[in-house]
Amino acid sequence: MIMPNNLGRQYSLHAEEYKKKACEVLDSGWYILGKEVAAFEEEWAAYVGAKYCVGLASGLDALWISFRLLNIGPGDEVIVCANAYIACVMGITMNGATPVFVEPDRYDNIDADKIEASITPRTKAILAVHLYGQACDMTKIMALARQYRLKVVEDCAQSHGNHWQGQTVGTFGDIGCFSFYPSKGCGAFGDAGAIVTDSEELAKQFRIFRNYGSEKRYHNKMVGSNSRLDELQAGLLRVKLRHLEDFNRERCRIAERYSREITNPLVRKPEIRPGADSTWHQYVVHVPGRRDALMQYLQEREIGTLIHYPIPPHLSEAYAYLGHRAGDFPIAEQYAAEVLSLPMYNGMTEEEQQTVIDAVNGFEVLR
Ligand SMILES: *Cc1c(COP(=O)(O)O)cnc(C)c1O
């Protein structure tokens, strides 16, 4: 069986390093917000090229706390792509703000040319989601943000270390949000997240907010939350970070091979926007009309695939209250019906890659 993702493979490449670090942290006697967290924050900020990084408990926390600290709430609108992950939208709505959906383009990211038509006097921010590991067109997004004085939050949960025109994503907007959920590029061994920013004031606010709004113990400046990164995850993330560039390069090689060797005309392969690069968090193909059949065909050949995502947020039950209907965002709806993520993970063998390629090429092709 080839799994869609296989975290054990990546772990086994450097198992001894993780075990050593885990024991070191356990032996230290200090488990929340300590020197591992401080060191990871410094190293992650340096890796991304931002001035500050603040470790948090999850990617969703990074998102909703960002909008909270930017004072975006009831009555405000935030622009987000209509094919986003549901967490992106929850980051907006948890503060009472309204998501305004914009269709994706052929690169599966927000169509920056369609953003302007969705801006209203209530628009406060754009959430740029770098989906599947590929950068959005940050040049156009930042130009609109300047023109309309909007905040920009980047969701880099699936894009650890990729670039738009040579600059690392997460450093274009006001805040870059990261999830270190185990399946993400730099994945932890549990839940973890972080933000990066160049604003000293915002970084300080995040540090206070994540710890019940207190800068000094039992002196609470604001109503905050508990969103602390723990020492174990931070220590393990420091080990992961040492190998992240290698992991990204390895997934790139797998993606390049898929793109070279998959030749089935029923399958549209992912394209990279000129100026962007991808860390290939997912290798997402479009299979118009035949997606479910291909998924089933691969399953019968013991190849597991996933759909990111089968229901666009505007049609999700959770967002029925927004009042959208099927047909409101036809491109996002079409994508939800035709996307399929092929197996992609570090430590995937050449034979496994070959098996996937042969199976995809063998699907319904008349000979
Ligand atoms: C994973 C993910 C999140 C949420 O991160 P968690 O750590 O699971 O809370 C948000 N946005 C995107 C695009 C993601 O892929």
How far is 195 from 188, CA to CA, in rounded Å? 15
Enter the pTM of the model.
Answer: 0.97
Q: Is the CB of 187 under 6 A from ligand 1?
A: no
Q: Which tokens hold the place of 272?
A: 């990279």
Q: What is the CA radius of gyration of the chain?
A: 21
Residues near 292 by beta carbon (within 8 Å), at least 6 away in sequence:
none
Q: Is the CB of 82 under 6 A from ligand 1?
A: no
Q: Is 15 left (phi over 0), alpha (psi -120 to 50) or beta?
A: alpha
Cβ atoms of 61 and 87 within 8 Å: the answer is no
One-letter amino acid of 136: C
Q: Is the CB of 59 under 6 A from ligand 1?
A: yes
Question: What pLDDT is stored for residue 216 in this prediction?
Answer: 87
Q: Which tokens hold the place of 336?
A: 């939800």
Q: Is the CB of 129 under 6 A from ligand 1?
A: yes
Query: What is the number of the ligand 1 atom nearest to the C-alpha of 131?
Result: 13
Q: Is the CB of 88 under 6 A from ligand 1?
A: yes
pLDDT < 70 stretches in the chain: 366-367
Per DSSP, 346 falls in state: T
Determine which residue's CA is closest to atom 14 belonging to ligand 1.
Answer: 157
Among candidates 198, 132, 192, 141, which has minimal Cα distance to 165?
141
How far is 65 from 210, CA to CA, in rounded Å? 9
Q: Which of 88, 129, 229 to mutate to test the pocket of ligand 1 (most atoms within 8 A of CB)?
A: 88
CA trace torsion 273, 278, 284, 285 (10° rounding): 40
Q: Is the CB of 193 under 6 A from ligand 1?
A: yes
Question: Among the residues of the chain, which ranges form H helices?
Answer: 7-13, 15-28, 35-48, 59-69, 86-93, 138-148, 200-209, 231-261, 291-300, 330-338, 350-362
Query: 3-state DSSP call for residue 134?
Result: strand
CA of 216 to the centre of ligand 1 (A): 30
How far is 228 from 236, CA to CA, in rounded Å? 15
